[in-house]
Structure 1
Amino acid sequence: MADLEPVWSMLETEIPPLLAPGSTVEFRYARQSANFTRSLYAEHLNSVAMMDEAIAAGSDGFDGVYFGCWNDPLWEAREVLDIPVASVGEQSMLAALAMGQRFAVITVSEKTAAAIARDITLYGLRERAITRPARSIAPESDSALLLGAVRDPWQSFIPRFDEAARQCIADGADVILVGCAWYGPLLRRAGYTCVSGTRVPVADSTTVALKYLEAMIGVARSTSAIKSYAAPFSTPDRAKIQRARAALGMPRNIAET
């Protein structure tokens, strides 16, 4: 979406300087998108396009793949690829376990909160999160709020986020994750790293998860441990995957898209 160009530019400016020396990141965007994520069905459609980009990155020789959206096909990508695969969601939540006892995720809409809560359970992290672990700001985010936050997140976004964060703290949270890959770097850039008047950290999930992927790549290089090759992540037969794609009218090889 061309009107969100300021957001892309912000990410591509803010993220690379925080990587370890020698690490580089290439930002890739799905060539097709439903341009809508606040729906389980739309999320499923977007996941197909995201998988295409992940598979292409593996074929292009990248050391690791990172999904910069909380709505992601993480486990599907881990099954198909033989390089480390990280997501803004799982990796930032795992990092939160080392920061505190109970975390919460604050995101941009009730639909997104429901999807994140589902993932928390799927990843087996429910016991380390608060009751109702994923919550939305109110009113929900829209493109006007996002673009306004690129200019000044303190004007509208941070007050909404801070209010939701205080409710999470009252319910036992001692770590708050930013449940949107776009807003995390914006809050960090603005200096909003703790909930106002507290010492409860607000983690830029995007940067935290990318740093986690760097560690995953380091582990793979040092020990050759990438993933389990037992079910469910055993790499499927490539020819059968190609036939499955062809049966759905998709190009057999990602390079043909």
Structure 2
Amino acid sequence: MKIWYQSYVDAENAGGYWDALQAHLDAVKDPGTEVVIHGITPHDSYAHPIVEFRCAREVICNAVRAEREGYDAFIIGHFQDAGLYEARSVVDIPVLGMGEASMLQACQLGQRSGIVTINRRYIPWFHHQIGKYGLGQRVTGVHAMDFQPGQILAAFGSDERLGEVAGLFEAQAKPLVRDGVDLLIPGGGIPMLLFSQLHDHRVDGAPVINGIPIVLKQAEMQVKLRALTGLGVSRTSDFVKPPAEVIEEFMTHPKGL
């Protein structure tokens, strides 16, 4: 099994993040699974919907490339899941989003979940995401720290910086737990990977979700189910597949025009 893992950080700016991410993926994948990380240039360095929109276009194109190059599944390793539905509509291989996978898994572990994102500009996006997935009664709160996506990368390799970020996360998470949240979800792949160093991470008894192994295991499961039963996405509404020439036009049209 070969899986394309789409990071929203490019190789030039990843620093030790990609190395840590690859090691984490390799540690949790099934024997025989190969996970290949791919980035986006320019990467998602500023929290804003227009950046998500720009990255989404490249993600959709990369999902098509992944299928054409023989990958078995495509993972959007970015909690905002920008381009998720559109990518599902143009390829037949499973397409998984970290945000959706994390929220759905949290629903099996507790009745109510809360998200702590890295920047308050993501809060409206997450509320739209929660509504899109029909989880408004299950994911009931979104709080934020105050980082740009690129800034939190500096915490990798520094125990002191890890402790600082964990403390800021906890400060935002505690009010959510007091309001009745059972599970806590870091709103991003970067903080999830950072906190993966904290075994059985909890805040006031509420488990902190690491969506990286969750989305990878869901991708492996969907590939296996497709092989066993032929199960794939519905093509009746949201994921209706366009004609091949429309996909090709999207792939070849100049970016930004």
TM-score under structure 1 length normalisation: 0.87
Could you say which residue in structure 2 is the equivalent of 1:39? Answer: 48
Structure 2: distance between partners of 1:62 and 1:17: 20
Q: Deviation digits for residues 40-99 of structure 1, max 9, x if unmatched?
A: 122111111121211111111111100011232100000001011101100111111100
**CA–CA distance in structure 1, aligned partners of residues 14 and 43 of structure 2:** 15
From 75, 91, 98, the counterpart of 1:81: 91
Letter in 1 for 2:155: G
**1:63: which partner in 2?**
72
2:222 corresponding residue in structure 1? 216
Residues in 2 aligned to 1:65 and 1:84: alpha-carbon distance in whole angstroms: 6
User: Displacement, 1:163?
Assistant: 1.0
Q: Hey, what does 2:155 align to over in structure 1? A: 148
1:200 to 177, 192, 206: 206
RMSD: 1.9
2:248 equivalent among 239, 242, 253: 242
Is the Cα contact below 8 Å between 1:34 and 1:45 reproduced in 2? Answer: no
Answer yes or no: is the 8 Å Cα contact 1:66–1:87 preserved in 2: yes
Structure 2 residue aligned with 1:98, among 102, 108, 133? 108
Query: How many pairs align?
Result: 243
Q: Find the aligned partners of 2:93 and 2:242 in 1 and give their Cα distance.
A: 14
Q: 1:128-147 residue pairs with structure 2 within 5 A? A: 128-130=138-140, 133-137=141-145, 139-141=146-148, 143-147=150-154
Match for residue 233 of structure 2 among 227, 236, 250: 227
Distance in 2, matches of 1:52 and 1:240, equals: 12
The alignment status of 1:157 with 2:176, answered yes or no, reads no
8 Å CA contact 1:106–1:177 kept in 2: the answer is yes
Residues 108 and 100 (structure 1 numbering): CA distance in 2 closer, same or farther, change over 3 Å? Answer: same
Unaligned runs of 5+ in 1: 251-257
**Greater strand content:** 2
Structure 1 residue matching 2:34: 3-state secondary structure: coil
Distance in 1, matches of 2:69 and 2:186, equals 31
CA contact (8 A) 1:114 1:134 kept: no
Q: Answer yes or no: is the 8 Å Cα contact 2:98–2:211 preserved in 1.
A: yes
Give the match for residue 189 of structure 1: 197
Deviation string, structure 1 residues 156-191 (Cα, Å, up to 9, x no partner): 100000111111101111011111101212212233
Contact 2:16 2:156 in 1 (8 A): no
